[in-house]
Chain A
Amino acid sequence: MIEVKNLRKTFHLKSGDVVALDGVSFSIEDGTVYGVIGYSGAGKSSLVRCMNLLEIPDEGTISIGDYQGIEARNGVPYYQGKPMTARQQNQMRRGIGMIFQHFNLLERSTVYDNIAYPLKYTGRSKAEISSRVCELLELVDLRDKIDAFPSQLSGGQKQRVAIARALAASPKILLSDEATSALDPDATESILTLLKDLNRKLGITIVIITHEMAVIKTIADRVAVMEDGKIVEEGTVYDIFSDPQATITRRFIASASPLGKIDKMIERNSSLTQVKPGEVLVKTTFLKDCVGEHILTTMAQRFHIDLNIILANVEYLHGNPLGGTIGILSGPQENLEAGIRFLEENHVRTEVLKDGRVD
């Protein structure tokens, strides 16, 4: 288990102090994919870089891999009561793989030599290194590129090499800082699939930093939402998506969902959002345990309500429906009320955006 407690990091710049991490705590179960999402400057990179001590936190404790209870005090990391030596820090980092947005491969080294880089620290013989590299190339599906130079590879292929390199020394933990942000959608998808496979096959714990909700949705089990150096919300991906609490989380989800457009439409007073007297414009959100879209049809039939759907976005995450619809309900007043109550009882959150009944 990875455990981070009360991590703090402030950068002292000429222009003033920047608090990058303001008391961050979380824990990650072994073998899970943990997502961290936040806008630019939220402190995500600082967080992962503190996790493998590329950056030394000012304060806080970190338990990661073989190093349980590293404690930072005044920007000095202590392990088992003593300040960590440079050697110990290097040793610790060798147990944690890391991949980056810009791949960071050695350009003057072939794919083979790039992947072999960390293996030289494992005391393997030439032959052992060679067979391990081949094994890794197999794993990331790049056998034929063994003698290529990074400049001869596509972005997705470079990231595969970077993944192979990060996993070469068999770490149980992989940190990924925006690893798909520089890739096109196809390459992003293939890299995410690869990461998920590695997580399943090798049981590697993956911490994935991103500013894209889609990435979280695709591979993460749990997610933490960061803002201004703090984790503002944390939970399973489904819970966060279906029932976001923090404003920033809602913004993330709205930006990723077509339903987010409705606010603009209402603002512009679009003809689609006009309600006649007696009608209501409602937003429905499917919560966990909800049976799915057809609950709306059931409601319309049972309560004799006309349902005019304007926007809909429903997808299934881990088998649960996620998303919702925006539509106009019209019918006798008491039927509308009963219908809305029916939806609530069936795990559909209903918000009235515009109400024609009060006019």
Chain B
Amino acid sequence: MAEWIKSIAPYLYTYRAKFFAACSATFQMFYKAGLIAFVIGLCFGILLVITKKGGIRQNAVIYQVTNLVINVFRSIPFIILLIFLIPLTRAVVGTAINVKGAILPLVFGTVPFYSRQVEVALSGVEEGKIEAARSMGSGTLGLIFRVYLHEALPDLIRVTTVTAISLIGLTTMAGAVGAGGIGSFAINYGQNQNHSDIVNVCVIVLLAVTFVLQSIGNSLSKRTTNRSLFQVRRGNGGTEI
């Protein structure tokens, strides 16, 4: 195996330790920023849907402010955002470099996009279902959890997949703040030193990750259409939300 790799990608083999470190850095940025962005984006998406005109908790002020903030951050290119946020990152996490310093900008780069996607997914839930649930006495939380999130689950999985893939893309830029990762490895050890095998392998790794994410997303989304994700059989009683 090692011999084989050595023969087709000699420089990668030489820098294999750096390569694994790069993969690990990308992975850490991905899951840490991803988890945080997932939670925050979901909350913002829900907030947008319930506060918009005709929403279940219509509130023009909250909606407009959230909307504006999202639009502003969405229109800043990530590489600029990365630099722009350095002071804030330093204030919040103590450092603006390394993986640690990249998480916050990644979250800022992902949340606006994800919130919009969540908003669109939730808006796909028919008005009539909300109306029926209200007629059965569901309050705001009940409507969010038992109707919006429940009915939109396949779409939510779809948009989460898209966002996850775009997040992988963003992590490759995080090298700009010295966070390492596959992107900066490909530039520093591949492109800059003219080692094309390193660039090629980085491309293949990213493609593979994208492919795997997309497949998982597709399959989950398909399986949850008309089905419960975690089949809780026969009503799980009692809890009033």
Question: CA of A129 to CA of B235 in the docked complex: distance in angstroms?
Answer: 8
Interface flags, A18-60, vs B, CB<8A=1, else 0:
0000000000000000000000000000000000101000000
A123 x B238 contact (CB < 8 A): yes
Asked if A109 is at the interface of the complex by the 8 Å CB criterion, the answer is: yes
Q: Are B135 and A130 in contact (CB under 8 A)?
A: no
Contact between A54 and B135, CB atoms less than 8 A apart: yes
Q: How far is the CA of A149 from the CA of B224 in the complex (A)?
A: 12
Interchain CB contact (< 8 A) of A91 among B133, B137, B140, B147 = B137
* A126-B236 in contact given A104-B131, A108-B224 (Cβ < 8 Å): yes
Interface flags for B219-241 (1: CB within 8 Å of A; 0: not) read 00000111110000011111110
Contact of B137 among A94, A103, A124, A129 (CB under 8 A): A94
Number of A-B pairs, beta carbon distance below 8 Å? 98
Assuming the contacts A54-B135, A98-B135, A100-B132, asked whether A107 and B151 have C-beta atoms less than 8 A apart, the reply is yes
- Candidates A54, A113, A162; contact of B235 at CB < 8 Å: A113
Asked whether any CB of chain A lies closer than 8 Å to the CB of B6, the reply is: no
Task: Provide the bound-state CA to CA distance between A302 and B153, in Å.
Answer: 77
- Among B189-241, those with CB < 8 Å from A are 224-228, 234-240
Q: Which of A91, A107, A123, A125 has a CB less than 8 Å from the CB of B226?
A: A107
Query: Complex formed: what's the CA distance from A120 to B240 in Å?
Result: 6
B52 within 8 A of A: no
Q: Decide yes or no whether A112 CB sits under 8 A from chain B.
A: yes
> CB-CB < 8 A to A203: which residues of B?
none
B129 within 8 A of A: yes
Q: Is the CB of B136 within 8 A of A169?
A: yes
C-alpha gap A106/B151 in the complex (Å): 7
Which residues from B are CB-within-8-Å of A97? Answer: 135
What sequence of 0s and 1s flags, for each residue 333-358 of chain A, a beta carbon within 8 Å of any chain B beta carbon?
A: 00000000000000000000000000
Indicate with 1 or 0, residue by residue over A156-178, a CB within 8 angstroms of chain B CB atoms.
00000010011001000001000
Known: A54-B134, A98-B132, A100-B128. A90 touches B139 (CB 8 A): yes
**Mask: chain B, 127-156; 1 = CB below 8 Å from A; 0 = not:** 011011111111110000011001101100
Given the known A-B contacts A108-B151, A108-B227, A109-B150, are A96 and B135 also in contact in the complex, defined by CB atoms under 8 Å? yes
User: Interface readout for A111-137 with B: 1 if CB under 8 Å, 0 if not?
Assistant: 011001111110111100110010000
CB neighbours (8 Å) of B137 from chain A are 90-91, 93-94, 118, 121, 169
| A228→B142 CA distance, assembly (Å) | 35
Find out whether the CB atom of A129 lies under 8 angstroms from the CB atom of B237: yes
Given contacts A87-B139, A91-B137, A108-B228, contact A117 B146 (CB under 8 A): yes
Is A117's CB under 8 angstroms from B238's CB? no
Q: Chain B residues near A313 (CB, 8 Å)? A: none
Which residue of chain B is the closest to A165 with respect to CB atoms?
B136
| CA A124 to CA B225, docked complex, whole Å | 28
* Bound Cα distance A97, B237 (Å): 20
Chain B residues with CB under 8 A of A121 = 136-138, 240
Q: How far is the CA of A109 from the CA of B226 in the complex (A)?
A: 7
Contact check, A52 vs B135: say whether CB atoms are below 8 A apart: yes
A-B pairs with the 7 shortest C-beta distances?
Answer: A94-B137, A104-B132, A104-B128, A98-B135, A126-B237, A118-B136, A116-B235
Q: 10 new A-B pairs (CB below 8 Å) besides A105-B132, A107-B151, A166-B136?
A: A93-B137, A98-B135, A105-B129, A108-B151, A112-B235, A121-B137, A123-B238, A126-B235, A130-B234, A165-B132
Would you give 8 A-B contacts (Cβ < 8 Å), ordered by A?
A: A90-B138, A93-B136, A94-B136, A100-B131, A108-B150, A120-B235, A126-B236, A175-B135
